[in-house]
Chain A
Amino acid sequence: MILRLAIASLFARALTVGMTILAIALSVALYLGVEKVRTGAKASFADTISGTDLIVGARSGSVQLLLYSVFRIGNATNNVTWESYQDIAARSDVDWIVPISLGDSHRQFRVMGTTQDFFEHYKYRQGRSLEMVEGIVMDDIFDTVIGADVAATLGYSVDDPIVVAHGLASFTEHKDQPFRVSGILAKTGTPVDRTVIVSLEAIEAIHVDWQSGAQIPGQSTPADVIRQMELTPKAVTAALVGVESPLQTFALQRAINEYPEEPLLAILPGVALQELWGIVGIAETALLAVSTMVVVTALIGMMATIFSSLSERRREMAIFRAMGAKPMTILSLLVLEAMLMAAIGALLGLALLYVGLMIAQPVLDSAFGLWLPIDAPTMREAAVILAVIGAGAIVSLVPAFRAYRMSLADGMMVKT
């Protein structure tokens, strides 16, 4: 009966109570949304590369190697010679190896030279393979496969010609050897979307007439001649390696790190990703802190609402007292009301989150490659809701205690 009266009392103040509940609902939805994006981003981030056991590059830092080989951020300080690459590829514990050659760009996008094996072995989001939306994997030296963002940003379609520039953000373009778009990849949400993929030979081919980073004046080898040339690269930037058995991963890593002919570095992508997330993760903590503050603000708003309702509810409290209610009953009535508001607000916030997810999920996936799964509420979300209700009860204690003192002093007589 007390619960029913509390609900009726809330209904009687529908407007202010509704606003308070709305504020709590929005803040809870924001908080849970941030949580979703945070865990989604973390998962997406960790999903950037999967199925690769080791990444091999010239000796530097593991985060740096990960950044330039997978995220195409920054540059390699050094290359891996073709001999070393061949040595590693020849090892019996290596199942597969895919070379990566970086250093050129097309407009704002990085160009990556690799082999056709890349399309077979590069996996993301728990083992998903790259897919073509249009065209085929390159089979000519001057064919390129472009990522979804490249195609979307530059408006390319299959068979369009493109010119690769030497270096990054450089104006010296390899105009002699125009490439052709042979295929466009589906959106993955990984850096592959922003990559122009060519064959390893193509990287050599566009540098045929170049020496020490500059074009040899007057020299221009026709494409047909280039096709006849021996285009074995002298070095690659990095390599993705898969091992025969997961047990051999550490032994292979050790062997590569101690490779006597050249200082090399082999990293476990998962470990390096976590290391990198540790750096990026500060932002996530900040985001979480801000949304926590929003929830706190909404609860303080509720406290203010209860405070301002006290004077107009003195009469009501006097009636309760006259009927035999203890001042403690008045206090618990107000706390109960606050908990009801917080509970309704939190559950409404959860509902808002799901509505928002249903609307935003496809948009986020196609625009940012951020996949937010729509699952049943997790324990963590349930804990958040319970925490909001608990915090609502705690903040309401302040006005409730004031009501307690008021009703103790007023008794059943309201003098005003």
Chain B
Amino acid sequence: MRRYSICGAFFKVTLPVLELSEVGFHWPGRTRFALSLSNFTVDKGEAVLLLGESGSGKSTLLSLICGTILPNKGTVRVAGTDITTLSGGARDRFRAEQIGVIFQQFNLLPFGTVADNILLPLRFAPDRRKSAGDAKAAAAALCEQLGLPKDVFAAKANALSVGQQQRVAVARALIGHPPLIIADEPTSALDANSQAAFLDLLFQQTSAHNTSLLMVSHDPRLGERFDRVIRMEDIAQIERAAA
């Protein structure tokens, strides 16, 4: 983390947090699905909304960014490091250190407490744990900032409402302040009012820590709150053929 943060400090303006270039990927074997993408960047502190219908390759793109799949060609740079050069285990560790992930729903381990869930990524990211300081206090502070009731901390995750669960997921993504937050349709399980409140909280947190946010959605109405709105089809070409 230290190495990366020094880089980040030096090249704050020049180096984007996320940079994909000349990426080509196709799933191995049976399904003929190929994605190619010439260039896509997210700058430090930038909030980008990526719009795309289902089947537009959003999930594949997110998997590439998170390093759970490797492109067949091209580079994927996260916080200055080309993750395609890392080994599988190192990519997992790197993801834990650099990226906070928020899913559509079912974000939490239902049997764990809220505290367990928030602290989980730190378990795999020692550097991020260090930068979080007193992890428990940091988690509690995040909960408070996200408007979660105090007694929720020790509660089992499955005892929470969906809205509360999504906020816990935000706290989990933010803890230790990773440079990049990836959110995959985090508001789709919420009603309109909750959506707005959720985004308010999310933006509050990302702008407070100058965190980059890449959010994927199919809903263009969310666009006005982001620095940039990009359509999936504008950056990536999908080839699909029946097997």
Residues of A within 8 A of B (CB): 1-2, 4-5, 8-9, 11-12, 315-316, 319-329, 411-413, 415
Q: Would A324 and B96 count as touching, CB distance under 8 A? A: yes
Chain B residue with Cβ nearest A321: B68
- Select which of A1, A5, A8, A326 is within 8 A of B88 by beta carbon: A326
* Sample (16) of A-B pairs whose CB atoms are under 8 Å apart: A1-B116, A1-B123, A5-B111, A5-B112, A8-B113, A8-B116, A12-B110, A315-B106, A319-B103, A323-B101, A323-B123, A324-B95, A326-B124, A328-B89, A412-B63, A412-B101
Q: Is B62 engaged at the interface, CB distance under 8 Å to the other chain? A: yes
Residues in B neighbouring A411, C-beta threshold 8 A: 63, 66, 68-69
Instruction: With CB as the reference atom, state the residue of chain A lying closest to B113.
Output: A8
Q: How far is the CB of B116 from chain A (nearest CB, A)?
A: 6
Which residue of B is nearest A4, CB measured? Answer: B116
Contacts of A413 in B (CB 8 A): 59, 62-63, 68
Question: Are B124 and A323 in contact (CB-based, < 8 A)?
Answer: yes
Within B138-197, which residues are at the interface with A (CB < 8 Å)?
172
Chain B residues with Cβ below 8 Å from A320 are: 109, 120
Chain B residues near A325 (CB, 8 Å)? Answer: 92, 96, 124
**A2, B59: Cβ atoms under 8 Å?**
no
CB-contacts of B104-148 with A (<8 A): 106-113, 116, 119-121, 123-125
Pairwise interchain contact A12-B111, C-beta atoms closer than 8 A = yes
Contacts of B69 in A (CB 8 A): 411
Contacts of B125 in A (CB 8 A): 324
Establish whether residues A5 and B116, one from each chain, have CB atoms under 8 Å apart when the complex forms.
Answer: yes
**Smallest CB gap from B106: residue in A:** A315
Count how many chain B residues have C-beta atoms less than 8 Å from C-beta atoms of the other chain.
Answer: 31
CA distance A79 to B97 in the complex (A): 92
Q: Are A5 and B109 in contact (CB under 8 A)?
A: yes
By a CB distance below 8 angstroms, the chain B residues around A1 are: 116, 119-120, 123
New contact pairs (7) apart from A8-B109, A325-B124, A326-B124, CB-CB < 8 Å: A1-B120, A5-B120, A319-B106, A323-B120, A326-B93, A411-B66, A411-B68
Return chain B residues, CB-CB under 8 Å to A315. 106
Report the separation of the CA atoms of residues A412 and B61 in the bound assembly, to the nearest whole angstrom: 12
Complex Cα gap A320–B112 (Å): 12
Q: How far is the CA of A327 from the CA of B95 in the complex (A)?
A: 13
Which residues on A sit within 8 Å (CB–CB) of B96? 323-325
* Contact status of A11 and B116, CB under 8 A, knowing A324-B92, A324-B96: no
Determine the distance from Cα of A321 to Cα of B101 in the docked complex, in whole angstroms: 10
A322 to B184, CA, bound (A): 12
A415 to B63, CA, bound (A): 12
Residues from chain A with Cβ under 8 Å of B88 in the complex: 326-327
Q: Which residues of B contact A328 (CB under 8 A)?
A: 89
- Report A-chain residues with C-beta under 8 Å of the C-beta of B120: 1, 5, 319-320, 323
- With the chains together, A24 CA to B45 CA distance in Å? 55
Please report the C-alpha to C-alpha distance between residue A11 and residue B112 in the assembled complex, in whole angstroms: 10
Contacts of A322 in B (CB 8 A): 66, 95, 101, 103
